[in-house]
A and B are shown apart, each in its own frame.
Chain A
Amino acid sequence: MSKISIINRIIFLLTAHFAGYMVVSGIEAYSRLTIFYYTIAFGTLLLSSLLLMLFGFEILKNDLIIIFSMFIPAGLSLGLICEYLPDIYYIYLAISIIGILAVIISRFYMYERTRIIMIAIVHGVFGLTLFFLPFFLVINGKQDKSIIFISIGSLIISLAGLLQTFLKTGKSIILEEKFYKLFPLILLSATAFFVAGLGI
């Protein structure tokens, strides 16, 4: 496991600052419920960055962190749906809750393979929503083009999640050392894209 270098710490601190900025003032323009969801997402990003600074990359292998990290795409996609597609909000909320509960239950009571499939499905739903919804909103003229940055951010973070899943299953397509070298930059750039898509 590679150690957290000073540069990595600075990158995580920057990520935490971006996320903190969003929580404090970057999402004020949205409705109350949307702010709640974005606070969950950016709050999770902030805490993840701080915890990575404190505990190192080892923490990424922790079961609880895998569940915890799910709140990033869940919060962002629920916020987007709540703000722009209120008609399907309750259906999406129900699916999200069922998905999150399924992942939690599978972490404690099911085989490794089932767990990975479960998390891939749930992350997949959140990820696809985050990727396609901004395009849908721009095409329908409901939002400015800048919201596409969310799609880019979600693409980056989904790729990281995918690479990590491959690492976990032992079928890695990238060396572990290399992955951990890239991870801080992946998290920072994804956060920056989310900020650009929502906050500016």
Chain B
Amino acid sequence: MRNFLHKLKLYLPLIKSAQTGLLLLTGITGYVSSHCPFMNWQTFLGLSGSLFLTISGSTILNMVYDRDIDSKMKRTKNRPLPSGKLNVSEVLFLGLIISFAGIAWALYMNVLFGLVVFAGIFIDVIIYTVWLKRKTAWAIFWGGVSGGMPILAGRVLGTGEIDIIGILFAVAILLWIPTHILTFSMRYFEDYERAGIPTISSVYGNKNTQLIIALSSFGAALSIGLVAFSLGLSWGYLRLLTVLATGIIGLALLSVFRPSEQINFGLFKYASMYMFGSMIMVILGTIK
């Protein structure tokens, strides 16, 4: 039992619970936004379960592939894989099993939903991590595309088709990802340099990166606002979304005009808070 708990403690960080949780929330938001009878527990369980498995699986597979990079970074060198606390083949096996289980469950529920879920994991693991991450700073775009798949999948499960709202949702996440990732890569600039990973700030400089962050934050806020408006959310929710958007745009502009380490990391943290808050607003606004 003690051994099992010890192993579980080592395995848990592999799924990056906060990131997985946020992506799962976006998937649920996409589904609830379709005005489905979301209290249908079988569908809701299937959506949550399949997305949780696929997102966790892709995160584990990424960790396996990136273990050499992680071992070079101060921030990640103590993770279970680069520090040798876990067996690589064992983790790879687990990642594959979880991913396949998630995709199979999703396909069983609805073929189109399953295909979008599969596209998400394929783009994340194969295109982003394996193919592009070490070659170009623009790999982040594909990271954004894969990040937008859970919300699109949730919407597809609810509506049975890929509609304009689902695409706008995915675009919102795609545009939000640079704010999330670029602020992070700026904070850990030296780590990324040491590992030889090209980032927008290492290739184009901090000033241009901050400009991209500001533009993408504005785009993400605009997309979420458009989706909320199209979904017919009440003015109260739209007002609150505007307030939250003012926060992310304001901080992004501050990072351009008054750049500092504190503002940069504050923006990183606020971006997650913004996405979480916006998703909750869309859920509450739709249910109401």
Secondary structure of the A contact surface, majority rule: helix
Among A35, A43, A54, A64, the residue within 8 A (CB) of B266 is: A54
Asked whether any CB of chain A lies closer than 8 Å to the CB of B40, the reply is no
Q: Output the residue of A54, A55, A58 with the most chain B CB within 10 A.
A: A54
Asked whether any CB of chain A lies closer than 8 Å to the CB of B239, the reply is yes
Among A24, A28, A43, A54, the residue within 8 A (CB) of B246 is: A43
Interchain CA distance A166-B266 in the complex, whole Å: 28
Question: Chain A residues near B87 (CB, 8 Å)?
Answer: none
Among A23, A55, A58, A64, the residue within 8 A (CB) of B243 is: A23
Asked whether any CB of chain A lies closer than 8 Å to the CB of B269, the reply is yes
Asked whether any CB of chain B lies closer than 8 Å to the CB of A161, the reply is no
On whether the beta carbons of B236 and A25 are closer than 8 Å, the reply is: yes
Question: Chain B residues near A50 (CB, 8 Å)?
Answer: 247, 270, 273
Write the chain A residue with the least CB distance to B274: A50
Question: Chain A residues near B242 (CB, 8 Å)?
Answer: 39, 43
Asked whether any CB of chain B lies closer than 8 Å to the CB of A4, the reply is no
Question: Chain B residues near A23 (CB, 8 Å)?
Answer: 236, 239-240, 243
On whether the beta carbons of A39 and B239 are closer than 8 Å, the reply is: yes
Secondary structure of the B contact surface, majority rule: helix
Interface residues on B, range: 10 to 19
Write the chain B residue with the least CB distance to A24: B236
Interface residues on A, range: 10 to 19
Among A28, A47, A55, the residue within 8 A (CB) of B262 is: A55
On whether the beta carbons of A39 and B243 are closer than 8 Å, the reply is: yes
On whether the beta carbons of A24 and B266 are closer than 8 Å, the reply is: no
On whether the beta carbons of B243 and A47 are closer than 8 Å, the reply is: yes
Question: Chain B residues near A28 (CB, 8 Å)?
Answer: 236
Interface residues of B in 241-288 (CB under 8 A from A): 242-243, 246-247, 250, 254, 258, 262, 266, 269-270, 273
Question: Chain A residues near B273 (CB, 8 Å)?
Answer: 50, 54
Smallest CB separation, A186 vs chain B (Å): 22
* Interface contacts beyond A43-B242, A43-B246, A51-B270: sample of 6 additional A-B pairs, CB < 8 Å, sorted by A: A20-B240, A23-B236, A24-B240, A39-B239, A50-B273, A54-B266
18 pairs, A vs B, C-beta closer than 8 Å: A20-B240, A23-B240, A23-B243, A24-B236, A24-B239, A39-B239, A39-B243, A43-B239, A43-B240, A43-B243, A50-B273, A51-B270, A54-B269, A54-B270, A55-B266, A58-B262, A64-B254, A64-B258
